Amino acid sequence: MQTIVKRLDPEGRYIAGILDRRLCIQREDAFYIKDLRIIANRRMEHMVIVDNMPFSFLSQLDNGIYVPSYCGQKDDDELRRIMAFLLTLGNVPDVRPQVQKFAGVMRLYAQYSNATGNVAEFGASNSELSHPSVELEM
């Protein structure tokens, strides 16, 4: 993950941090949930999650961008496309409406929900927030 971030943001100007598994909530069913509420010094309307596992950001669907897994395809430009979009968010007061227009995660959620039944249970509830707050430096 660090390699990808270094390539996308070599000067560290745009990507403030990575929520890796150490900072995720692991559920009994082995799913890892990324919960932006643990980040103490950032507001929800200023954060975006980019992940190849949509259930990772079910706690904050409006902040999530799904990126398909990279499997070595030479023509895969998904991260470049996402980075170009992320650069447009610099002065936006609330990224969530823009993320939804770009990513359509709510539609993805609805499709998954219809296919599998209720997936709301995958989200992390307030009681499951077991990690202490962290602060991101930038």
Cβ neighbour number for residue 80 with a 10 Å cutoff = 10
| In a domain? residue 132 | no
Angle separating helix axes 95-103 and 105-116, nearest 10 degrees:
60
DSSP three-state, residue 66:
strand
Residue 95 has pLDDT above 90, yes or no: yes
Strand 49-51 versus strand 25-26 pairing type: unpaired
Q: Which domain holds residue 52?
A: 19-70+77-126
pLDDT of residue 66: 85
| In a domain? residue 12 | no
Looking at the structure of the chain, the number of domains it has is: 1
Q: Which residues pair with 66 in a beta bridge?
A: 51
> What is the C-alpha separation between 27 and 66, in angstroms, rounded?
20
> What is the C-alpha separation between 60 and 124, in angstroms, rounded?
9
Residue-wise pLDDT tens digits, 114-134: 555 554 444 444 444 445 555
pLDDT of residue 94: 97
Q: What is the CATH number of the domain that holds 24?
A: 3.40.50.1000
DSSP three-state, residue 120:
helix
| In a domain? residue 134 | no
Residue-wise pLDDT tens digits, 22-66: 888 888 887 888 888 888 888 999 999 888 888 888 888 889 998
DSSP three-state, residue 82:
helix
Threshold 0.75, pTM exceeds: no
